[in-house]
Structure 1
Amino acid sequence: MQVFLQLGLSFVLLAAQCTPGAAVPSSQCRRQCGTVEIPYPFGIDPNCSLAEGFDLSCKVQDGISKPFNGDFEVLSMSLTEGTMRVLNYIVANCYNTSTRSMEFMGRYTGFVGQPSSPYRLSDVQNRFTVIGCNALYLIADKNGTGYQGLGFSTCRNFSDLVDGSCSGIGCSQTMIPKMMYNYGIVSSDLFNTSQIWEFNRCSYAVLMEATTFNFSTTYVSTTKFNDTNDGRVPMVLDWAIRDQKCDVAAKNKTGTYACLSSNSMCIDSVNDNGYMCNCSLGYKGNPYLPDGCQDVDECRDNPCPSGGVCHNTVGGYRCSCRVGRKLESNTCNPDIGLIIGITVGVVGVMVIIMIVVFWGQMIIQKRNLNKVRQDYFQQHGGLLLFDRMKSENGLAFTVFSEAELVQASDNFDNSRILGKGGHGTVYKGIIKNNMPVAIKRCALVDERQKKEFGQEMLILSQINHKNIVKLLGCCLEVEVPILVYEFVPNGTLFELIHGKNQALQISFSTLLRIAHEAAEGLSFLHSYASPPIIHGDVKTSNILLDDNYMAKVSDFGASILAPSDKQQFVTMVQGTCGYLDPEYMQTCQLTDKSDVYSFGVILLEILTGQLPLKLEGPEKQRSLSLIFLSAMKESNLDAVLVSYVKGQESMELLRGLADLAKICLDMCGDNRPSMKEVADELNRLRKLTTHPWVRLDMETDAESLLGGESTGGYQIELSGYPMGESEDQPINPRSSYYAR
């Protein structure tokens, strides 16, 4: 027999008495060590715990603060369950092929306590776990309960092992009794392991939390199990205030009784003698502090039946029903007795008076509600909308009532949510004629936007472009307006590149088409809307796809009409990190070139298949724009292109698309092309993919509209029609153009 535990390591605090004192800890006591909360009765500073046995230490390891109970790192603790989770050390026993004997590997481990200490080994949550082939270990509590138990696991072949199974083949788990406050582990080398050492050199034993363990066959074939947290695994301790049960401790409330809150109760420990404190029913908090248990407002969760009214009380709540109903079997049923009594007692004029009063109240309430709705309607410019709609009979725009949209969205049920963003939440709705729509409940708008909302709705309602989500109507009789758009069912470009629709493996030519269509939509907003509309949040998740995967630009609203005064300078950053125009970050002035910069990032996503911003890794590798511009500067475009893109298209085409992205990402907005120029260039690049007779030659000295220094133009020889020319135009046999 070989002893691996000499009871040398221990919880230093476990040997201390845990008799509590009546003093209340200072408010200056620290209650956090690293990420672990340290609630009273525990403490990490002097005079900050209930008793010496509850003292912990806060140590810094590898630059991180961690709480320790003696030598054991504390993971968490629970006041309501009376438990503490710590990291316990694994015993390892390995076969030496040279000496043909078993040798200890790792750190001696143990758990030593005394009857007066707060802690007991949890018999419910812990299991004595043994891993290995022909492994035999003894766990003993000689100084406490006198318990001795065996842990034994065996196997003949590695193929006998099964992941997740810990029933004796390669792994076994044994329960321990209650009231254990220390233990030791003894390993036996009676079994000859020389026949199996090739796939199982080491065996392990540890007392650990059962729910955190899942057996893996790699624990037998490697040292992986002993590598976990430096050879440590979670173990659960039951803690309590020992030596007294509740019936004795409660009699001494003016002395050492630990349940100081007047709204607390004493609970006997289920593991050995002692007691714990819990807040009374209807209260929550820390029962070990005066006034630590506070009343719970149960009415926040609306526990009453439908039609009932909840009234919070001290330590509980009560439900009541409307007049004419009474609470029966947790249901508000009509009070038949009251109704009959009133009906019999009230005759003639009294009945008429009641009816008049009732209808009068209903009319007043309805008038008040209508007045509120009318105020909102006028505030948001509803009268202006109605006047224009009457004068322009062809205006395809609907002003919905709140009731219509509530019914269309099942009262804005969470199951109808299509997405959430900085400007509001979008729900799927069904309006008349079973027409699906997207209903957007906007976020709060400022006073300027409220005054101009009706005028801006008129402008947005007249936008009719195949690549822009159509605004069908709005609701103005609510505090924050609700917008109604056409429903686009096929997800977003972001999902097509990065997300759940990535598996569709859409061709690069299709992605290029989607980008071209999105550019056409943005170009329309910039160039043809009056006044021009700046999107302000161009990104792949705001490019929706219809049934035919045609792009539709979405998420533009009243807050993004091109401003013409000082109100264009804002204090809150608009847009999404990774797509933001760096020039906007400096000037706080949103322009159409800000949208161009964001669209350049979209082109990078298509070319590289990468996210625009990574939160991890070196700082220079987090921004996709910086990575791309660095690669272009070093003439190393091939390094950032995604593999399937290189396999589908020629490098000349990809370089053309990369050059377009590069000029879109220029730090100076004036050097960027307009959105119309971007759309025209994408149209030309698309034609390269559909005309196999087109030959591209790089011209390094040609002047390009892509920027100051030439990044390479494309001279095109056509055996058909030059790109951008119609059939009735003369054919130039060496027509050339440059990316704009």
Structure 2
Amino acid sequence: MVPLILFLWLMIAPPSIAVAAAPSLAKPGCQASCGNMSIPYPFGIGSNNCYLDHNYTITCNQSFNPPKPYLTSLRLEVLAVSLTNQKITINNPVVKGCGNSPSVGTSKSLEGTPFVFSGRYNKFMVSGCGNATLDLDGIVMAGCSSRCNHDSAGQGKGCFGINCCETTTPFVLDRYNVSVTVSTQGDCVSGFLVDKNWIEEYSIFDSRYFAENIGLVPVVLRWTLQKVDFPSCIGNYTTLPFPENTLITTWSCQCRWNEDGNPYLANGCQECANCTGQCSRRGENGSFTCPTRPNKSSKKELCISTWQFHQGHTELDHGHFFWISAGVGISTGALFLIIGIFWLYKIVLRIKNKKRKEKFFKRNGGLLLQQQTSVDQGSSDKTHFSAKELEKATDNFNENRILGRGGQGTVYKGMLTDGRIVAVKKSKIVDKSQLEQFINEVVILSQLNHRNVVKLLGCCLETEVPLLVYEFISNGTLFKHIHNQSNEFPLSWEMHLRIATEVAGALAYLHSSTSIPIYHRDIKSTNILLDDKYRAKVADFGTSRSIAIDQTHLTTLVKGTFGYVDPEYFQSSQFTEKSDVYSFGVVLVELLTGKKPISMTRTDEQRSLATHFLLSEEENRLFEIFDPRVLNEGTKEELMAVANLARRCLNLSGKNRPTMKEVASELEGIGMSNKKSSTVQTNFQELGCTSGAESVVLSYGNSTSMELNLYSSTTSSSDGQPLLRNCV
């Protein structure tokens, strides 16, 4: 009885009687600081258990005194970490141009990481004599120009346009490009994103000295999380503005108003020690100040008194027995009450979860998709997966199961209960525009049945963000195979030609063979997947649109990937089927040259691969830019035929480009001629003979590709051995 009373008393006793020790911000057993800086979880130093995932790994460089922390994934020095605002300040290189290189550009990217450049805490700044712009995929986000005045070097706090200027950035960015141009001969100019507090705290700013000598500035990054990473913490979602009217959503954990510590750790928050009345927060670190609570009876004192009671009453009379019986009855009733409240809580929680799933189902377009399923017979075999089933398939969306990250979400590898391997696409943004893309992708893919289009197996609509389930494509993207020089199995020219033919066939199917024509609108090598037999699969239909048969174009906001977008569409905002043809032409040039669609190493005029290709053709330098492997394995006639087709696809006038059906037909012809050429060569090498003077002409389309002259006399190879002999 006594232990039960003691247990109940401890449960209802005020938690603030005991004095709380100052909580640690790092995980227990992990290194808490590096040099003069505290390292709070989810960041960490040391083993895997000390940080959330590899993106949050901190390396403590002991070669400095004091040691300096570096963010391992970005290889940049960390200056500060704030749990309150989910921000981390790093040292970032500036972009600098001087007299010998008056125009300079460089790109910064955080893609594939949970970090974004903050718009609220940073400013874009130009130091020196000149101008600079900050753009995202060619769209200018911020720009600034400073006028030279050599008699006014030090300006005090801030920048106002003379030798230095500053401007705000309205969005968070996961990547950007900075271009600077020097305006005065002999001077330098620097353009950079920088912590706005750094500008305000800089007492005397010698902008010309800075432009010439300073290489690093502090930049604030926001780090983003999802609720699934910290399901049990108290927190809320915060939305961050991103270009193109989209939002990035991040989950942030918080301690209660009267608690202190690290909310991202289990039991990381502790109540204010010895506090009564209002407990006030002090500073960004989350420390508290409050009056002292008067001492009261401690738990230890209660333990002693109950022990003395037990020792002094071994002989119990009827009065004592009554009170003990009453205590047992009250305790038992309280226990049953607690159990009843617990089960009632479970029932309420089950009902709440059911309503929550129904809410998500409606918000994620479930009613629209149900209607589509009832109308479209082709979608009848699509499956709705439960959230529990997909969590089990992906090991609760384990970091080790990630296949790739993109602007719309993360793709995980999973295994269903029936043994099928699948790819699960999980959106990372709760946003109406992204939701429309999701619904659009499901509706589009529900209509398609083509061996070279990735197959949608089903979806899950009862979660906070919708999930799509695709067939698993094992060999990654075409982009990886073209541009990854360390690839153990490089694609041959014959495979290049086959992949191009398969993609062209898939696009021709979308344009011409479906009941309603479909424009893909984002053809690029990263959206072309390769299966275990290196067959092409066209993927990512989030921005695709179906149009009426009598329509010729779509008028929309310009969307697409820089380097692949049709210039005609960029100027008119009218997307036609020939816009897909242009993007496919860029992919063809990638296959021929092995070069990326945009390169900062080429001159401004030829930064675009399409422009670089067309100028090289005009100057008769095509074979100089072809991939050496392609040159070694393909014949000149084949390569020129494919290059000529690519040139026609890249025509600046859409009406002069071929249709995808014509492109697919020509590529099939080139492929057939390639196989026929290989067969003829093999047969004659095996026979080692000819049957008289004749010539074999291999053709594709209307252009002759190769002519083999077969002489009746014996032909010898370079080593003097007979190559062809007469046959009867």
Partner of 1:714: 704
Shift in Å, 1:304: 3.1
Q: Are 2:346 and 1:358 aligned?
A: no
1:629–1:662 CA contact under 8 A, matched in 2:
yes
Answer with 357-366 or 416-425: which moved more: 357-366
Structure 1 residue ranges without an equivalent (≥5): 1-24, 49-55, 68-73, 78-294, 319-341, 699-703, 705-711, 720-740
Which of 354, 359, 364 is the matching residue for 1:375?
359
2:519–2:546 CA contact under 8 A, matched in 1:
yes
Measure, in 1, the Cα distance between the counterparts of 2:421 and 2:537: 16
Which of 414, 429, 432 is the matching residue for 2:399?
414
Measure, in 1, the Cα distance between the counterparts of 2:195 and 2:603: 34
1:615–1:622 CA contact under 8 A, matched in 2:
yes
> How many residues are aligned here?
425
Which of 695, 698, 720 is the matching residue for 2:697?
695
Q: Are 2:606 and 1:621 aligned?
A: yes
1:28-81: per-residue Cα shift (whole Å, max 9, x none)? 599999679899999998xx3xxxxxxx883637x93436xxxxxx9789xxxx
Structure-2 change in CA distance of 1:393 and 1:466 (3 Å): closer
Q: Are 2:543 and 1:543 aligned?
A: no
- Secondary structure in structure 2 of the residue aligned to 1:433: coil
Partner of 1:64: 211
- Secondary structure in structure 1 of the residue aligned to 2:400: helix
Measure, in 2, the Cα distance between the counterparts of 1:28 and 1:454: 48
Report the residue type matching 1:304 in the other structure: A
Partner of 1:552: 537
Which of 442, 450, 475 is the matching residue for 2:460?
475
Structure-2 change in CA distance of 1:615 and 1:300 (3 Å): farther
1:327-342 superposed matches below 5 A: none
Measure, in 2, the Cα distance between the counterparts of 1:645 and 1:393: 40
Shift in Å, 1:566: 13
Answer with 411-420 or 453-462: which moved more: 453-462
2:158–2:200 CA contact under 8 A, matched in 1:
no
Measure, in 2, the Cα distance between the counterparts of 1:488 and 1:659: 31
Measure, in 1, the Cα distance between the counterparts of 2:665 and 2:441: 29
Measure, in 1, the Cα distance between the counterparts of 2:364 and 2:195: 52
Partner of 1:303: 265
Report the residue type matching 2:386 in the other structure: S
1:100-249 superposed matches below 5 A: none
1:607–1:641 CA contact under 8 A, matched in 2:
yes
Shift in Å, 1:423: 2.8
Report the residue type matching 2:521 in the other structure: G
Measure, in 1, the Cα distance between the counterparts of 2:193 and 2:445: 52
1:299–1:310 CA contact under 8 A, matched in 2:
no
Which of 523, 541, 546 is the matching residue for 1:562?
546
Partner of 2:19: none
Partner of 1:594: 579
Partner of 1:399: 384
Q: TM-score with structure 1 length normalisation?
A: 0.50
Shift in Å, 1:598: 0.9
1:647-726 superposed matches below 5 A: 647-692=632-677, 695=697, 713-714=703-704
Partner of 1:242: none
Measure, in 2, the Cα distance between the counterparts of 1:638 and 1:423: 38
Structure 2 residue ranges without an equivalent (≥5): 1-154, 167-188, 219-256, 273-279, 289-325, 681-695, 710-728
Structure-2 change in CA distance of 1:622 and 1:403 (3 Å): same
Structure-2 change in CA distance of 1:537 and 1:452 (3 Å): closer
Shift in Å, 1:540: 1.2
- Secondary structure in structure 2 of the residue aligned to 1:617: coil
Q: Are 2:585 and 1:437 aligned?
A: no
Measure, in 1, the Cα distance between the counterparts of 2:465 and 2:200: 49
1:381–1:455 CA contact under 8 A, matched in 2:
no
Measure, in 2, the Cα distance between the counterparts of 1:347 and 1:390: 58
Partner of 1:643: 628
1:564-614: per-residue Cα shift (whole Å, max 9, x none)? 69995444x422111111112112233322221111011101111111111
1:652–1:696 CA contact under 8 A, matched in 2:
no
Structure-2 change in CA distance of 1:446 and 1:567 (3 Å): farther
Which of 603, 614, 617 is the matching residue for 2:588?
603
Shift in Å, 1:509: 0.7
1:543–1:554 CA contact under 8 A, matched in 2:
yes
Report the residue type matching 2:264 in the other structure: N
2:157–2:201 CA contact under 8 A, matched in 1:
no
- Secondary structure in structure 2 of the residue aligned to 1:64: helix
2:477–2:528 CA contact under 8 A, matched in 1:
yes
Which of 540, 557, 566 is the matching residue for 1:581?
566
Q: Which has the higher relative contact order, 1 or 2, with Cα contacts under 8 A spaced 6 or more apart? A: 2
- Secondary structure in structure 1 of the residue aligned to 2:518: coil
Shift in Å, 1:364: 2.2
1:522–1:675 CA contact under 8 A, matched in 2:
yes
Root-mean-square deviation (Å): 4.5
Measure, in 2, the Cα distance between the counterparts of 1:429 and 1:520: 29
1:67-99: per-residue Cα shift (whole Å, max 9, x none)? 6xxxxxx9789xxxxxxxxxxxxxxxxxxxxxx
1:705-732: per-residue Cα shift (whole Å, max 9, x none)? xxxxxxx83389999xxxxxxxxxxxxx
Measure, in 2, the Cα distance between the counterparts of 1:535 and 1:458: 13
Partner of 1:505: 490
- Secondary structure in structure 2 of the residue aligned to 1:574: coil
Report the residue type matching 2:525 in the other structure: T
- Secondary structure in structure 1 of the residue aligned to 2:418: helix
Which of 403, 413, 416 is the matching residue for 1:428?
413
Measure, in 1, the Cα distance between the counterparts of 2:673 and 2:383: 43
Structure-2 change in CA distance of 1:603 and 1:371 (3 Å): same
1:446-490: per-residue Cα shift (whole Å, max 9, x none)? 658857966863552342222111100001113432111011111
Report the residue type matching 2:266 in the other structure: C
Shift in Å, 1:505: 3.1
2:444–2:546 CA contact under 8 A, matched in 1:
no
Structure-2 change in CA distance of 1:556 and 1:393 (3 Å): closer
Report the residue type matching 1:464 in the other structure: N
Structure-2 change in CA distance of 1:368 and 1:27 (3 Å): farther
Partner of 1:98: none
- Secondary structure in structure 2 of the residue aligned to 1:678: helix
Measure, in 1, the Cα distance between the counterparts of 2:405 and 2:361: 25
Report the residue type matching 1:535 in the other structure: H
Measure, in 2, the Cα distance between the counterparts of 1:427 and 1:525: 27
Measure, in 1, the Cα distance between the counterparts of 2:482 and 2:619: 26
1:626-677: per-residue Cα shift (whole Å, max 9, x none)? 1111122334432322233222222111111011101111112222222222
1:495–1:501 CA contact under 8 A, matched in 2:
no
Measure, in 2, the Cα distance between the counterparts of 1:684 and 1:298: 72
Structure-2 change in CA distance of 1:352 and 1:476 (3 Å): same
Matched-pair identity in %: 39
Q: TM-score with structure 2 length normalisation?
A: 0.50
1:411-454: per-residue Cα shift (whole Å, max 9, x none)? 22222221122332211112112321111113557658857966
Structure-2 change in CA distance of 1:39 and 1:492 (3 Å): closer
1:461–1:472 CA contact under 8 A, matched in 2:
no
Structure-2 change in CA distance of 1:469 and 1:500 (3 Å): farther
Shift in Å, 1:523: 2.1
Measure, in 2, the Cα distance between the counterparts of 1:298 and 1:569: 54
Measure, in 2, the Cα distance between the counterparts of 1:64 and 1:588: 40
Measure, in 2, the Cα distance between the counterparts of 1:490 and 1:476: 28
